[in-house]
Every structure is written in C-alpha cells, then in structure tokens.
C-alpha cells in the first residue's frame, strides 16, 4: 500500500515537473519574438559604449549601457579583456 502511494506521488511530481518545463520553454520560444540573451567576450580596447553601439543599433547607447550594466551587476563602466558579458 505505501509503495503504491509513494509511486503515485513520484509519478505526479514527475508529471508536474514536465508540465512546468514545457510551459516555461513554450513561453520563451523564439516564435514569440522574445530575444534570448547572448554573451560577449570583451576584447582589448572594448568599451561599454562601443559594445552597446554595435550590439544595439538604432537605440541610445546610454540606455543599452544601463541594460548591460544591470544584467551583469556592474557597479561602474570598467570592463576587462576576457570578461564575459550577458547582452539581453
């Protein structure tokens, strides 16, 4: 009796997990137009301004810099070569 109850709970938990994962991935599908964040490895001589201008064309670089800083938890504008940045 207890083995059957434990098996049912495990099956229900597994089914709930699969459903949650399905809903999560279907909500963030490329077909919805939501862009996935990309990463960028900083090169020697790069600045946040240059990265923002090249990766977010047509937008104000100041807004893009704010977005990059927020996504990467940067307190200032200092970046170093080899650092990976998330570009939302």
Asked if residue 28 lies in contact with residue 72, where contact means CB atoms within 8 angstroms, the answer is no
pLDDT for res 36 = 78
Residue 71 has pLDDT above 60, yes or no: yes
| Mean pLDDT for the stretch of residues 21-44 | 65
3-state helix, strand, coil in the chain (%, to 5): 55, 10, 35
Percent of the chain with pLDDT over 70: 62
pLDDT at site 49: 97
Structure-model confidence comparison of residues 15 and 71, the more confident one = 71
- pLDDT of residue 39 exceeding 90: yes
Mean pLDDT of the chain: 79
Q: Is 40 helix (H, G, I), strand (E, B) or coil?
A: strand
């Amino acid at each position: 009796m207890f083995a059957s109850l434990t098996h049912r709970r495990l099956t229900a938990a597994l089914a709930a997990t699969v459903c949650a994962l399905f809903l999560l991935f279907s909500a963030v599908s490329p077909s919805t137009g939501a862009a996935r964040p990309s990463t960028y490895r900083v090169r020697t001589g790069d600045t946040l301004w240059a990265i923002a201008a090249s990766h977010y064309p047509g937008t104000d670089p100041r807004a893009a810099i704010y977005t990059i800083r927020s996504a990467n938890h940067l307190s200032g504008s200092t970046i170093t070569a080899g650092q990976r940045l998330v570009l939302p």
